[in-house]
Amino acid sequence: MADGRDEENTDRVQEPQGAAGGEDVFDDPILEQGAVVLRGYVIERINTEDPSRHVCSEDLGGRPGEQQDPQIKEVVEQLLKIADDLNKNAELQRLINQVQGNCAQDIFMTVARSIFADGINWGRVVALFHLAYRLIYKALTTNHLENIRMVISWVLQVIREQLYTWLVQQGGWEGVIRSFSRWRTLAIVASVVLVATFVYYRRSR
């Protein structure tokens, strides 16, 4: 019986369910927490860059109070600290600003695959979140609210297809807290990757 359970658990790790719909995932903790963390990241970035715009989790398809979990708050805080270095890269910001708010899924997935083409680290995860934030912010400011859940669903698809096993190895999203001492190095690597990625994106449009 134990072997059967082990095999079942292995299958669950390899094939997490629920990301494709773009809504909260209740049958997989890593995907569900990923959606919550992404919404927290977006909310905090908007609070910093556009304080007059009041956004809550429900506006992004989440649940009331989901950002009050202390563990979620700490994960989001560490990701934001990594993002601070990304935001200091002027060329990166200029390139990000050229991405259309209504970009197609294939463009988003191409960019995401490029970010993780030669490895995964927390800096690159933040780079993915930062791209999603820019698209969600554009959706909010241009009143294309239907794009918000779509972008979140794309991120969840990337997590499921490219990041899931790595996140399991890190012990889940809390792994970024344990890796905090390396966040500056990871952010610098991520910014270089993102600049190259968006140069590719701009040329391939």
Q: Write the DSSP assignment of 11-80 as a string of letters.
A: HHHHS--S-TT-S--SS-HHHHHHHHHHHHHHHHHHHHH-TTS---GGGGT--TTGGG-HHHHHHHHHHH
Q: What is the mean pLDDT of residues 39-50?
A: 94
Distance CA 159, CA 186 (A): 18
The pLDDT assigned to 17 comes to 42
Compute φ and ψ for 172, nearest 5 degrees: 90, -170
Distance CA 69, CA 184 (A): 26
Q: CATH for 29-174, among 1.20.1600.10, 1.10.3260.10, 1.10.437.10, 3.10.20.740?
A: 1.10.437.10
The pLDDT assigned to 170 comes to 92
Contact assessment for residue 13 and residue 165, using Cβ atoms and an 8 Å cutoff: yes
Taking only the tens place, the pLDDT of each residue in 62-106 is: 999 999 999 999 999 999 988 877 667 665 566 556 566 667 788
**The token pair that represents 137 in the structure block:** 């912010």
Taking only the tens place, the pLDDT of each residue in 161-193 is: 999 999 999 999 999 887 755 545 555 555 555
User: Dihedral, CA atoms, 115, 118, 120, 121, nearest 10 degrees?
Assistant: -90
pLDDT level of residue 7 (50, 70, 90 thresholds): very low
**The token pair that represents 54 in the structure block:** 């009041």
Domain ranges of the chain: 29-174
Measured in whole angstroms, how far is the alpha carbon of residue 48 from the centre of its chain? 18
The pLDDT assigned to 119 comes to 86
